[in-house]
Amino acid sequence: MSLIIDGYNLLYVAGICGDDERGRAPRRPPTRAEDREVRRPTTGLQRSRDTLLRFLANTLPASELSRTTVVFDAAEAPPGLPSEAVFEQMRILFAANYDDADALIEELIAADHAPRSLTVVSSDHRIQRAARRRRAAYFDSDVWFALQVRARRRRQTLKPPVVRPAGPLTTDEVDFWLEEFEIDVDLTFDNPAAEPRRVSPGSSDGASTDKPRKPARKRKSKKKPPPSGEKLSLENPFPPGYADDVLREFGLDQPPPDQGP
């Protein structure tokens, strides 16, 4: 389906450039003299055009962009811009050598080879009559704009949620990603707590080159057990007779000499 859009008509109906003092959307943008009178820079209108084109590019289905033509009056074309341009696959025309955009749109409608599959967007009755003569579909700009906004919101609401894995990866999934990133690690899944075993690059059978470590043995105490038949007392750690031996060693086992009066 082909689509022809009256650019400035849709731009003002969409409210991108605001309304006139009577509260109604003007049919065409003001002339350059009027722009100077109200001190409105032309660059503001250029930004409005860009905003409208970005809206169309983000709203229309991708399959329809290359069959969409947006027509603007040439009087407000950017300086040095050719009469035809492409924006996100859409054909952008400025009505150079025409009295206004209406005349160019009428010519496009008359030259269309499949008018019954053509849709024209404009609130201008002159353009609507031209579409009716060719039995093409047409919409007022405000009606078409409202339909596009509603369809865009519906598509955003119906976007499928991001599905995240409910549990850990399976063995096959882990093997896939290891191979995808060329990670040469053999993971032991029988024992999740086991460390990964490195595989030698030259090994053909994938056997591990590192021997598994044996669990560390507990060191035995070097203290010798007491002689059989003897038990150490927790209250007196010294063996029997130890005090007498100490006294005898230092000569303290003799009684003190008798001191007379």
pLDDT per position as a tens digit, 86-133: 999 999 999 888 888 999 999 999 999 999 999 999 999 999 999 999
- When pLDDT is averaged across residues 220-231 and rounded to a whole number, the result is 54
Domain boundary among 102, 123, 157: 157
Does residue 73 sit within a domain? yes
* 96/34 same-domain check: yes
* 16/121 same-domain check: yes
* 41/144 same-domain check: yes
* 121/184 same-domain check: no
**What backbone phi and psi angles, to 5 degrees, belong to 159?**
-65, 130
Does residue 239 sit within a domain? no
Q: How confident is the model at residue 157 (pLDDT cuts 50, 70, 90)?
A: confident
CB 136 within 8 A of CB 149: no
Please report the pLDDT score of residue 73 as a whole number. Answer: 87
Does residue 128 sit within a domain? yes
Alpha-carbon distance values, 244 to 227, 230, 240, 247, 257 (Å): 21, 19, 9, 5, 19
Please report the pLDDT score of residue 97 as a whole number. Answer: 84
pLDDT per position as a tens digit, 204-224: 554 555 555 655 555 555 555
* 13/129 same-domain check: yes
Does residue 206 sit within a domain? no
Domain that holds residue 106: 2-157
* 104/196 same-domain check: no
CATH number reported for the structural domain that contains residue 91 in this entry: 3.40.50
* 141/72 same-domain check: yes
Does residue 68 sit within a domain? yes
Whether pTM > 0.75 for this model: the answer is no
* 183/133 same-domain check: no
Report DSSP letters for 124-161, one per residue. Answer: -HHHHHHHHHTT-EEE-HHHHHHHHHHHHHHHHHTPPP
Does residue 213 sit within a domain? no
- Type of residue at 220: K
Beta strands in 12-136 (DSSP E): 68-73, 84-87, 90-95, 118-121
Specify burial of residue 166 (Cβ count, 10 A radius: 0-12, 13-18, 19+).
exposed
Give the 3-state secondary structure of residue 91: strand
- The number of domains in the chain is 2
* 108/29 same-domain check: yes
Please report the pLDDT score of residue 20 as a whole number. Answer: 40
Please report the pLDDT score of residue 53 as a whole number. Answer: 93
* 63/173 same-domain check: no
Mean pLDDT of the chain: 73
* 175/140 same-domain check: no
Please report the pLDDT score of residue 111 as a whole number. Answer: 94
Please report the pLDDT score of residue 179 as a whole number. Answer: 73
* CA pair distance 71, 7, nearest whole angstrom: 5
pLDDT per position as a tens digit, 52-72: 999 999 999 999 999 999 999
